[in-house]
Amino acid sequence: MKIIFAMFSVLVLGISAWLGQVRETGGLHTLHGTIKDPTGAVISGLRIRTEATEPRVYSTTDINGDFRIVLPPGDHILVIDPPAMYDFRVFIKISENGLNPDNLEFVIDPSRGCCSTNTGQAFPKPIDLPKPKYPAAAKAVRAGGEVAVQLKIDREGKVISAEGANGHPLLRAACLIAAKASIFEVSEQPEREARLVYVFVPFGEKVRSGLVRYSNPYRIDIIDFSPPMLDG
């Protein structure tokens, strides 16, 4: 086993990956991996993509923190969206007829996305965080992953404005509706900021026994327990 290091553009947060050597016979390579926090809790709903190469390739970590991304031969940079929340960057080289990395494990510190503003001010304590409904159109195409919503909150704890920062287009509207109905603690400050992250898990994903999933007070799971409707 070899160790590779993921490079952060600002700060190295203890990321490491273990390489399982897989010999390719040519063509595309399916790269498997898992993403955890420093305590070993798996992180679901993360959107991983290639950067600086076209066309971009995407993947999302499942309920167990696992992902699979299909890469052509060449040099690749993997990042996690949105970069402002996850300052993550790792370099991967895929050979057409050689040994390629597989079964990687990345450890990232998700604290950048929770639970304070960019200036270090703590988010207000949540009192009521309604869950959005899983949109039927999103269910039909198994759309999932994170949707981050930026909030402005008044002194009474009510949401003044909510803006969808990222996430699948079929999921954003439901998240904005839920976010605007959220209630936070009362404060003397006239205006405060917070960020809610909604994590959509499509139907059929099963949690492996013994795993701990990453969570925080501003992270809301929406798990689809209902099978898709079949025509006819």
For residues 58 and 46, give the distance between their C-alpha atoms in angstroms, rounded to a whole number: 10
Instruction: Express each pLDDT in 120-177 by its tens digit.
Output: 899 999 999 999 999 999 999 999 999 999 999 999 999 999 998 688 999 999 999 9
Q: Specify if 99 maps to a domain.
A: yes
User: Does 30 share its domain with 109?
Assistant: yes
E strands within the chain? 2-4, 17-19, 22-23, 29-36, 47-51, 58-60, 66-71, 74-81, 89-94, 99-100, 104-107, 126-128, 145-154, 159-164, 183-184, 191-201, 219-223
Instruction: Express each pLDDT in 203-218 by its tens digit.
Output: 988 888 999 999 999 9
Q: What is the pLDDT of residue 225?
A: 82
For residues 29 and 97, give the distance between their C-alpha atoms in angstroms, rounded to a whole number: 10
Residue 71 binned pLDDT confidence (cut-offs 50, 70, 90): very high
Between these two residues, 111 and 157, which has the higher pLDDT value? Answer: 157
Q: Specify if 26 maps to a domain.
A: yes
- CATH number reported for the structural domain that contains residue 162 in this entry: 3.30.2420.10
Residue entry with tokens 């600086």: 52
Q: Specify if 7 maps to a domain.
A: yes
Q: Specify if 119 maps to a domain.
A: no
CB distance 133 to 170 below 8 Å: no
* Residues with Cβ within 8 Å of residue 60, at least 6 apart in sequence: 45, 46, 47, 48, 67, 144, 145
Mean pLDDT throughout 52-59?
A: 87
Cβ neighbours of 63 (radius 10 Å): 21
Q: What is the pLDDT of residue 14?
A: 31
For residues 138 and 164, give the distance between their C-alpha atoms in angstroms, rounded to a whole number: 16
- Domain's final residue, options 113, 134, 169: 113
Q: What is the pLDDT of residue 158?
A: 98
Average pLDDT, the chain: 85
Is the pTM for the entire model greater than 0.85? no
Residue 228 binned pLDDT confidence (cut-offs 50, 70, 90): low
User: Does 136 share its domain with 214?
Assistant: yes
Q: What is the pLDDT of residue 25?
A: 43
Mean pLDDT throughout 60-89?
A: 92
> Which secondary structure element, helix H or strand E, spans residue 170, and what is its range?
helix 169-180
User: Does 164 share its domain with 94?
Assistant: no
Q: Which range of residues forms the domain containing residue 19?
A: 2-113
For residues 77 and 52, give the distance between their C-alpha atoms in angstroms, rounded to a whole number: 7
**Quick check: 226 pLDDT over 90?**
no
